[in-house]
Amino acid sequence: MQHLDEIDLDILRALQENAHITTKELAHQLHLTTTPIYERVKRLEREGYIKKYIAILDNQKLKRGLTVFCNVSLKQHTKDIGKKFVEEIIALPEIVECYNISGEYDFMLKILVEDMPHYQNFVMNGLGSIKNIGSAHSIFVIGEIKHSTAIPI
């Protein structure tokens, strides 16, 4: 962040809140003209501060209302086994996030499915088809208290 000034940070904050904001609206909000705002946004994109723009969808309306965190341990830990596991996890669309973690488990998965029967099917036919899983521990989300995609800056 050493190359970012306060205007850059203000731009990033505004885009995290609403990536659909126009350059003109952003310039008005920051009391600048459109050209420097446009150039700064392009620089932030080019330098990788802004990775991409996305729409955040409503998982309930799209019949993905059950969120499950699943902690997974592998039976063996070799480079090839780890690589194969990651490839298979990436291929399962129900898994929306995967983290390699420390501690008792090797990976933490965030899974979105419609309901408990769909999760059971996913465990049996999706996760269960992955070789070398030693153990899996599921945690079911009862209610979402806070969810943000924004990075605090």
Please give the CATH topology (third level) of the domain spanning 6-46. Arc Repressor Mutant, subunit A (1.10.10)
C-beta of residue 119 within 8 angstroms of C-beta of residue 112: no
Domain over 66-140 is classified CATH 3.60.15.10: no
Q: Is 60 exposed, middle or buried (0-12, 13-18, 19+ CB in 10 A)?
A: exposed
The domain limits of the chain are 6-46, 66-140
Query: pTM for the full model?
Result: 0.88
What integer pLDDT is reported at residue 1 of this predicted model?
Answer: 63
pLDDT (tens place) for every residue of the chain, 153 residues total? 678 999 999 999 999 999 999 999 999 999 999 999 999 999 999 999 999 999 999 999 999 999 999 999 999 999 999 999 999 999 999 999 999 999 999 999 999 999 999 999 999 999 999 989 999 999 999 999 999 999 999
What integer pLDDT is reported at residue 98 of this predicted model?
Answer: 98
* Ordered DSSP codes for 76-120: ---HHHHHHHHHHHHH-TTEEEEEE--SS-SEEEEEEESSHHHHH
